[in-house]
Structure formats: structure tokens, C-alpha cells
């Protein structure tokens, strides 16, 4: 029995479906949604950081003032990298846990290369089709038709 995994990704949200192809006719292939846990294993240190720093505001007349905060340089890009890394980790874990023969991925174009490059080689080899776009809103009945062989 061959097992195919369909994964739909958009901006941190992920939907996964499993499809088994037994000796059934193509219209009878069962497709079922898989519950996916997207919580990262560790807290994100970029959410609250003391690297922003605090320093005295100072004044021209010598009185002490309240502390000022530094700027969060590069924090947004670091958070985006972490999101994509967490997506890749979740996809890799899902492909390995479901023990599928092949898997298909639908993901926005700007995220596709970054996520795929983070995946282990054995997971990349099982990827059979890649669609670039947001398909997370598709109903289950149309998910099947998205990746017809």
C-alpha cells in the first residue's frame, strides 16, 4: 500500500492530509486530515530580549531621567527565519512519523526555497510535487484534485 502526504503551508499555518492508495478506484481513495502540532520545542528568544538594552536618557541640566530602550535591529527577520525553520522541522517530523512513500507541498513562492533547503535530504527525496501558492483555505474535496497524478 502506498501512502501519500499532502501538506499545505501559508505564513506559519500548516494543514496536512494523508492519502492511501490501495486497490481502490481513483474516486474511492480516502483522504483524511492529520492534526499537526505547530508549537516550537523552545521559546523564541527574539520575542523578549535584553539585547535591545536600556540606557539612561540623560538631560542637559544633569537630573536623572527615566531609562530609554534601544531598538530591536533585525528582530523581525530573525523571527521570520525561526518561523520557517520551525515549519521545516514540523514538515520533516510529519513526513517521518507518517511513514509515507511520497509527499506533495503547496507553499507561497517566497517561502518555498527556504523551507525546502532546511529539510533533511531523505525528506527532500520523497517530495514529488511542489505548488507555489496559498491553498490552506481549500476544502478537503478540492485538496485531492490539487495534486492529481
Q: How far apart, in Å, do the first and last CA atoms of the chain sit?
A: 16
The architecture that CATH gives domain 2-38+74-146 is 2-Layer Sandwich (3.30)
C-beta separation of 42 from 106 below 8 A = no
Sequence spans of domains, the chain:
2-38+74-146
Cell triple for 23: 486497490
Per-residue pLDDT of the chain (149 residues; tens, 9 = 90+): 578 888 888 876 788 888 876 544 555 557 788 877 766 666 666 565 545 555 555 555 666 556 555 566 677 888 888 888 888 999 999 999 988 889 999 999 888 898 999 999 999 999 999 998 888 888 887 887 887 75
| pTM greater than 0.75 | no
Amino acid at each position: 500500500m502506498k501512502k501519500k502526504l499532502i501538506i499545505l503551508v501559508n505564513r506559519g499555518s500548516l494543514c496536512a492530509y494523508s492519502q492511501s492508495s490501495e486497490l481502490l478506484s481513483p474516486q474511492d481513495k480516502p483522504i483524511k486530515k492529520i492534526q499537526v502540532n505547530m508549537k516550537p520545542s523552545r521559546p523564541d528568544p527574539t520575542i523578549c530580549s535584553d539585547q535591545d538594552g536600556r540606557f539612561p536618557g540623560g538631560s542637559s541640566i544633569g537630573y536623572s531621567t527615566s531609562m530609554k530602550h534601544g531598538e530591536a535591529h533585525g528582530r523581525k527577520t530573525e523571527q521570520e527565519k525561526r518561523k520557517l525553520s520551525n515549519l521545516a522541522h514540523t514538515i520533516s517530523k510529519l513526513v517521518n512519523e507518517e511513514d509515507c512513500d511520497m509527499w506533495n507541498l503547496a507553499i507561497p513562492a517566497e517561502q518555498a526555497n527556504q523551507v525546502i533547503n532546511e529539510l533533511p535530504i531523505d525528506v527532500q527525496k520523497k517530495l514529488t510535487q511542489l505548488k507555489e501558492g496559498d491553498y490552506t483555505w481549500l476544502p478537503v474535496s478540492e485538496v485531492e484534485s490539487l495534486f492529481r497524478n
